[in-house]
Structure 1
Amino acid sequence: MQRRTILRGLAAGAIAGPTAAVLGSSAAQAATSYYVATTEQVKNKVMVWHKSKTFTDANLHWSFSPGGGVWSNLSDVKIRSTSAQGWIALVCASGGKAGIIDIGSEKATERGDLKWSATPGGNPHAIERIPGNGSVVVASSNGYLTLYAPSAVSNLGSLAKVQTVSLAGAHGVLWDPTYKLLWAIGKGTLRGYAVEGTYRNTRLRHYGAAVSLGSSNLGHDLQPDYSNTQRLLCTATDGVYEISTAGGSFSKRKISSETRVKAYVRHSSGEVLSVRADNAGSRTWGSPTVRFSQSPDRTRSGAEFYKARIWTPDFQ
């Protein structure tokens, strides 16, 4: 009961205690205390821990298991906030599925938390929700984005497929509230799409906003830089890039030549957390370790982490 109350408080925006460092208030901008959401593919769970605690079952802050089959190999999780439901988790899995979990209504690990799901197929790698509009976009690495639009923004279950957009190697999607663009990363490119229309008439349109990554460079993870609202972070075959969006003139700067980086995000304090594939274990594309640039790394024996996110509904 206590845990359920805490989660409902978070969903309603009542941030207190250690969760005040989850980004979002000016007082939290210098904080280095925060929670980390991961997709762990051996147990196939979304698992959330405080960064200062060991990644054990006893220290779990929140978790969710969708099952196996078409839900196997969870590949992305994002936390978002809605007016009607409070906090939700967006999830997708390489097995073919995507869905929305209502964080605010249950405590953890119950399949009943799944409020909507779809099967975009094509190895789904990332998912995002358009604020205000209520639409959801899934990036499938087989080469396309799938747009789902609602008949009512407040009704998660009313989402239905309305558009498919070709994007070779689609791996990441992220909403940019500053420029009102949906960014998507794929093979050789990062593209910005305008979101036009409402309800089931919603469509994605590409008007030219793009950053070239090089024709043979496959973009992978795409996340905010919480220390700078005019910057995105992406990983690709040959390393890690900062994408500047300042003034609407989009450009890239390579900040690392480290390869196999599957997740990379910068906290408002400047600390970077990341996951790098170790080419070992049951999933060579994952790692049992989440890395921190200013704190001890966290390793969970037998785990295969694929994505790591900061536990916050903020887009930037």
Structure 2
Amino acid sequence: MKRRTFLRGLAASAIAAPAAALAGAEGALAAGAAVQEVDAAAASYYVATTEQTKNKILVFPKNKAFSDANVHWSFSPGGGGWSNLSDIKIRNTEAQGWIALVAASGGRAGIVDIGSEKHTELNDLKWSASPGGNPHAIERVPGNGSVIVASSGGKLTLYSPSSVSNLSTLKAVQTVSYGGAHGVLWDPTYELLWVVGQNRVSHYAVMGSGRNTRLKYGRHFSLGSGNLGHDLQPDYTNKNKLLLTATKGVWELLTDSGNFRVRKISSETRVKSYVKHSSGEVVSIRGDNTEPRKWANKTVRFSASPDRSRSGAQFYKARIWTAAFQ
């Protein structure tokens, strides 16, 4: 696909500045757009999904059918190292506006330019790398500009820039062993990087700047034996709470007053994705335990609205379409 400006007259509301349409905007900015308050009670928002049958990031309005006609934004990287897309996060940068952080179990991770087109492909990547080891999650540290990829093969890979405003200067500077690393999320309240993996969730401090940035281990919290962590996401109703899933259930990670602790809230198994919108609605995906991808499901679940299914789809992760961390 050739580069072009997509629907310039609609860009402010549809692509470059989707914050205006989101109940979960939480003050996030998109590519030069002003912060706008949105009525969370309306619970009209967008959901970003990793769909592994066609291997695309597909974003849909939550209140419409998950059909091709209703796709709000997409990323289609093809296969190979980009097979089985496993994570999508939206982040805001001062220099580039909104970007999409993406990771794929095939071995690749990268950053996509959101504002250029409605349907993006590999030529819309601003940066990419091959961390390997089955990448499952990706995060970016605001201000510092470093990117961390969690690979379930047992490692975190830290990429740091020589120039924060230039994504293309990101380079691998550190690898940290972490068993079963599946989820990674930045906590701006305590300026910590949280990681979930085999039997535990941990936090790291991000020390230094530029290519001298390093991860420093802090502390871990047990999830019990036989619990491979799957997902780590915000609770957009409470900045002092994170949500994580593992083999045997769903947990809250409570961080109020720096008194970190975990609390199990559900024993439902095979929950691969779990996030709470600012309206209080939970969006989740549970692996259907059928081939060819036991970890995926054609249905995205909503706790206060009709579930959304897509024929032939295999959704693995679902995210609130917002650049907010909490």
Q: Which runs of 5+ in 1 are unaligned?
A: none
Task: Say which of 67, 79, 85 aligns to 1:68.
Answer: 79
Q: Which runs of 5+ in 2 are unaligned?
A: 28-36
Give the alignment of 1:271-310 within 5 angstroms.
271-310=281-320
Distance across 1 between alignment mates of 2:69 and 2:7: 14
Task: Say which of 169, 184, 201 aligns to 2:212.
Answer: 201
Alpha carbons 1:11, 1:86 under 8 Å: kept = no
Alpha carbons 2:283, 2:300 under 8 Å: kept = yes
Task: Kindly state the Cα deviation for residue 5 of structure 1 after the two structures are TM-superposed.
Answer: 4.8
Rate the CA distance shift 1:114–1:179 in 2: closer, same or farther, 3 A. same
Partner SS state of residue 58, structure 1? helix
Task: Kindly state the Cα deviation for residue 140 of structure 1 after the two structures are TM-superposed.
Answer: 0.2
Rate the CA distance shift 1:20–1:95 in 2: closer, same or farther, 3 A. closer
Task: Say which of 196, 213, 221 aligns to 1:211.
Answer: 221
Rate the CA distance shift 1:235–1:7 in 2: closer, same or farther, 3 A. farther
Tell me how large the CA RMSD over aligned residues is.
1.6
2:151 matched to which residue of 1? Answer: 140
The answer to whether structure 1 residue 266 and structure 2 residue 268 are counterparts is no
Task: Kindly state the Cα deviation for residue 24 of structure 1 after the two structures are TM-superposed.
Answer: 1.6
Moved over 3 A (4+): 1-16, 25-31
Task: Kindly state the Cα deviation for residue 218 of structure 1 after the two structures are TM-superposed.
Answer: 1.1
Question: Residue type of the partner of 1:24?
Answer: E
Deviates more, 1:257-266 or 1:6-15: 6-15
2:117 matched to which residue of 1? Answer: 106
Task: Say which of 150, 169, 178 aligns to 1:167.
Answer: 178
Distance across 1 between alignment mates of 2:218 and 2:121: 42
Q: Note the alpha carbon deviations across 1:24-69, whole angstroms, 9 max, x for none.
A: 2454343411000000001000000000000000010000101101
Alpha carbons 2:24, 2:236 under 8 Å: kept = no
Distance across 1 between alignment mates of 2:184 and 2:8: 30
The answer to whether structure 1 residue 251 and structure 2 residue 253 are counterparts is no
2:34 matched to which residue of 1? Answer: none
Rate the CA distance shift 1:28–1:133 in 2: closer, same or farther, 3 A. farther
Partner SS state of residue 21, structure 1? coil
Distance across 2 between alignment mates of 1:279 and 1:65: 25
Q: TM-score, normalised by structure 1?
A: 0.95
Give the number of aligned pairs. Answer: 313
Alpha carbons 1:145, 1:165 under 8 Å: kept = yes
Distance across 1 between alignment mates of 2:22 and 2:285: 25
Partner SS state of residue 43, structure 1? coil
Rate the CA distance shift 1:280–1:5 in 2: closer, same or farther, 3 A. farther
Distance across 2 between alignment mates of 1:33 and 1:249: 34
Alpha carbons 2:155, 2:181 under 8 Å: kept = yes
Question: Residue type of the partner of 2:50?
Answer: T
Alpha carbons 1:92, 1:125 under 8 Å: kept = yes
Alpha carbons 1:11, 1:81 under 8 Å: kept = no
Partner SS state of residue 227, structure 1? coil
Task: Kindly state the Cα deviation for residue 107 of structure 1 after the two structures are TM-superposed.
Answer: 2.7
Partner SS state of residue 70, structure 1? helix
Rate the CA distance shift 1:38–1:14 in 2: closer, same or farther, 3 A. closer
Q: TM-score, normalised by structure 2?
A: 0.92
Distance across 1 between alignment mates of 2:274 and 2:18: 28
Task: Say which of 250, 269, 282 aligns to 1:240.
Answer: 250
Alpha carbons 1:7, 1:103 under 8 Å: kept = no
Identity %: 66
The answer to whether structure 1 residue 21 and structure 2 residue 14 are counterparts is no
Task: Kindly state the Cα deviation for residue 266 of structure 1 after the two structures are TM-superposed.
Answer: 0.4
Distance across 1 between alignment mates of 2:315 and 2:8: 26
Distance across 2 between alignment mates of 1:219 and 1:301: 28
Q: Note the alpha carbon deviations across 1:225-265, whole angstroms, 9 max, x for none.
A: 00100000000111000110011111111111100001000
